[in-house]
Structure 1
Amino acid sequence: MRRRTLLGLAAAGPLALALPGLAGCDGDGAEATGDLRIATGSPGAVYYRYGTAIAELCKRYLPNVHASVLTTAASQYNVQSVLDGTADVAFTQADIAAGNEQSHPKQLCALARLYDDHIHVVVAAGSRIRRLQDLTGRKVSIGAEGSGTAITAARVLEVSHVTVDAQPLGLDDSVKALQAGTIDAFFFSGGLPVAAIADLARAFPIALLPLEESVQLLREEYGDYYAERVVPASTYTGITATVAIGIANYLVVRVSMSEPLAYGVTRLLFEGRDELAKAHQAAARLNIRSAISTPPLPLHPGAIRYYRAQKA
Structure 2
Amino acid sequence: MSRRGNRHARWRRIAAAVAVLVMAGASSACSTRSDEWGDSQYAIAGGGSNGVYYAYGAEVARELSGSLGVRVEVAETAGSVDNLLRVSSGEALLGFAQGDAAADAVAGAGAFDEALPVRAVARLYDEYLHVVVRADSDIVDLGDLAGKTVSLGAENSGVNVIAARALDAAEVDIASIADPQLDLSASISALEGSGIDGFFWVGGIPTPGIAELAKTTPVRLVPVEQTWVTAINTRYSDAYRPSDFPVGLYGLDESVPTMAVPNYLVTSSDTPDGIVRDVLTSLFDGRTDIAQRVPVASLLDRRQAIFTGPVDLHPGAIEYYRDQRD
Regarding TM over 0.5, the answer is: yes
**Secondary structure, aligned partner of 2:144:** helix
**Secondary structure, aligned partner of 2:124:** strand
CA apart distance, 1:78: 0.5
Greater per-residue helix proportion: 2
The alignment's C-alpha RMSD in Å is 1.8
Question: Which residue matches 2:165?
Answer: 155
Distance 1:142 1:85 in 2: 28
Cα shift readout 1:59-109 (whole Å, capped 9, x = no counterpart): 11111x321111011100000111122111100000000111011447111
Distance 1:301 1:61 in 2: 22
Question: Which residue matches 2:102?
Answer: 97
CA apart distance, 1:203: 0.3
For the pair 1:138 / 2:137, whether they are aligned, the reply is: no
Q: Which runs of 5+ in 2 are unaligned?
A: 1-22, 109-113
Q: How many pairs are equivalent?
A: 293
Aligned with residue 80 of structure 1, among 85, 108, 115: 85
Distance 1:214 1:159 in 2: 5
Question: Which residue matches 1:121?
Answer: 131
Aligned with residue 118 of structure 2, among 66, 83, 108: 108
Higher-Rg structure is 2
Q: Summarize the alignment of residues 44-59 of structure 1 with structure 2, pairs less than 5 Å apart.
A: 44-59=50-65
For the pair 1:33 / 2:46, whether they are aligned, the reply is: no
Cα shift readout 1:266-308 (whole Å, capped 9, x = no counterpart): 1111111001112210111001111001111111111111101
**Secondary structure, aligned partner of 2:233:** helix
Structure 1 residue ranges (4+ consecutive) displaced by more than 4 angstroms after TM superposition: 21-24
Instruction: Check the 8 A contact 2:119/2:313 in 1, yes or no.
Output: yes
CA apart distance, 1:22: 6.0
Aligned with residue 252 of structure 1, among 266, 281, 284: 266
TM-score normalised over the length of structure 2: 0.85
TM-score normalised over the length of structure 1: 0.89
Instruction: Check the 8 A contact 2:105/2:116 in 1, yes or no.
Output: no
Q: Summarize the alignment of residues 255-270 of structure 1 with structure 2, pairs less than 5 Å apart.
A: 255-270=269-284
Deviates more, 1:117-126 or 1:235-244: 235-244
CA pair 168-306 structure 1, distance change in 2 beyond 3 A: same
Q: Which runs of 5+ in 1 are unaligned?
A: 6-20
Question: Which residue matches 1:205?
Answer: 218
**Secondary structure, aligned partner of 1:165:** coil
Structure 2 letter corresponding to 1:33: W
Percent identity (aligned): 37
Distance 2:207 2:320 in 1: 30
CA apart distance, 1:239: 4.4
Distance 1:149 1:128 in 2: 23
Distance 1:284 1:305 in 2: 23
CA pair 39-216 structure 1, distance change in 2 beyond 3 A: same
Instruction: Check the 8 A contact 1:32/1:62 in 2, yes or no.
Output: no
Instruction: Check the 8 A contact 1:25/1:32 in 2, yes or no.
Output: no
